[in-house]
Structure 1
Amino acid sequence: MKVLRMVRNLVLLVLGVILCAILALAFLGWQMYTQALEATPLDQKVKQVRAQESYTTFAELPETYVDAVIAAEDHRFYQHNGIDVIAIGRAVVNDIKAMSFVEGGSTITQQLAKNLYFTQEKRLTRKAAEMFMAFHIEANYTKEEIFELYVNSIYFGSGCYDVASASQAYFGVEPSQMDANQCTLLAGIPNAPSVYDLNVNPDLATQRQRQVLTLMVEHQYLTADQASAIQPAA
């Protein structure tokens, strides 16, 4: 009985420490989130993005491109409210296994929050603040608006910070003119723009495109035959 009591107390102590750590992290994240909003309100940030000369609306994006990005980056985009608990749980397990931040589990909304307000530094407080900001974004904008802002504020390599700049730099066309091959190729680049930059590592970019096509089939955006028709040559 004495041993069982000691084990129980130890478990309670560990759980208490974990709970305190979570609460402290949430508090610090909330502080970072509120300070960021006080410095620049969300609607002002959105206006800044929309004021870009190369801004592309959701209606101008090919359906294949939208599907490819969602399949590759956040396949539960239309189901969650800013964060994907399943993806976060998977990321935590993988990070623990690797003993480092190897996977983020960020949704498209979280990535938008990071692009608008926070640095790329991998810190837990920043991650918590990003989650609060993602909830705030979801409460104020539609999924289409969020997606639109996202592709107009992410980095595609080669000095391109929005989808229009990237489609013009890589393919010489406007986003609305991209074909299925170009859509699926471009959709994979933001995952690691320095690695998949088409002007630097075209072979790696093509490998990433194959991953995107596989994910599109897995999440039922394409049939296997449709993916094969787009599939680049080995």
Structure 2
Amino acid sequence: MIGKMVKRVLLGLALIAGLACAVVGVRGYQMYRSALQEKSIEEAVVELHAQPGYTSVDELPQVYLDAVVAIEDHRFYTHCGIDIISICRAAWNDLRTMSLEEGGSTITQQVAKNLFLTQEKEFTRKVAEVFLAFDLEATCSKREILELYVNSSYFGLGCTGIGQAAPQMLGVVPGDMTLEQAALMAGIPNEPSLYSSDRQAAEARRDVVLMQMEKYGLMPGVATAS
């Protein structure tokens, strides 16, 4: 008797969970469609290009681009817009802590969020983000997506994009950044309010970026890891 009751409870919980996932999925898709109705990917890209300080990827040091990939999304060049491994790890950690602190977002997903969505942490937005990420990957090259990321990321102190942030925070144009400066700037968008105001915290984050670059073979003079 008790065994049957437990099975029924578990079945009921599974049905509720499935229904909740379906509702979130539908709402997320609707959010995605609404976002594209307001502006297309092409329009969003043109809008970003008009931003003061917009810097093309060809004007940026390769060491900065490598630092961004190392700390934000080391499988960036091989995934289709989402990273299943990161998503599963983030989902487990979020369930364990009963929070949405770890999102598992790729660089492409972050571009989707920056260009089309809010920064609010909710499941519906995450679903919309995934759909938009697929569209971005189908529309833009990896290099173009990386360019959109570094120009749409917020760095704190009122600076959006590396073209605004590097001169204000470092006193140099992005193309003149050293390895240490590139690593520092790559780490700031993770928590801009903290890292733009606390030099010690920013330098600690920079050191993490440098370690990630070494780990994934992206440090200058080190062969890329397979």
Could you tell me how far apart the structure 2 residues matched to 1:30 and 1:169 are?
A: 39
- After alignment, is 212-221 or 67-76 more displaced? 212-221
Does 2:207 match 1:203? no
Mapped partners of 1:220, 1:11: distance in 2: 46
- Give distance in 2, aligned partners of 1:77 and 1:11: 38
- Tell me by how many angstroms 1:164 deviates: 1.0
Aligned to 1:231: none
Identity of aligned residues (%): 46
| Distance in 2 (alpha carbons) for counterparts of 1:32 and 1:129 | 6
Shift of 1:6: 4.5
The structure 2 residue matched to 1:221, chosen from 186, 204, 218, is: 218
Matching residue's letter, 1:201: D
Q: How far did residue 51 of structure 1 move? A: 1.9
Q: Figure out how many residues of one structure are paired with residues of the other and give that number.
A: 222
Q: Distance in 2 between matches of 1:17 and 1:86?
A: 26
| One-letter amino acid of the counterpart of residue 221, structure 1 | L
How is 1:95-134 mapped onto 2 (pairs within 5 angstroms)?
A: 95-134=94-133
Three-state SS of the structure 2 residue aligned to 1:156 is: strand
What is the CA distance between 1:221 and its match in structure 2?
1.2
Q: CA deviation at 1:5?
A: 4.8
**Stretches of structure 1 lacking an aligned partner (at least 5 in a row):** 227-234
1:97-119: CA deviation from partner (whole Å, max 9, x where unpaired): 22222211111111111111111
CA positional deviation for 1:66:
0.7
Secondary structure of the structure 2 residue equivalent to 1:169: helix
Deviation by residue 1:164-208 (Cα, 9 ceiling, x = unmatched): 1111111222111111111011110000001101xx211110000
Which residue of 1 is the match for residue 159 of structure 2?
A: 160
Aligned counterparts of 1:22 and 1:101: Cα–Cα separation in 2: 16
- Cα distance, 1:7 vs. partner? 4.3
Question: How does the TM-score come out when normalised to structure 1?
Answer: 0.89
Are 2:213 and 2:219, in contact at CA under 8 Å, matched by a contact in 1? yes
Q: Does 1:175 pair with 2:174?
A: yes
Q: Give runs of aligned pairs for residues 180-195 of structure 1, distance below 5 A.
A: 180-195=179-194
- Runs of at least 5 residues in structure 2 that lack an aligned partner in the other structure: none
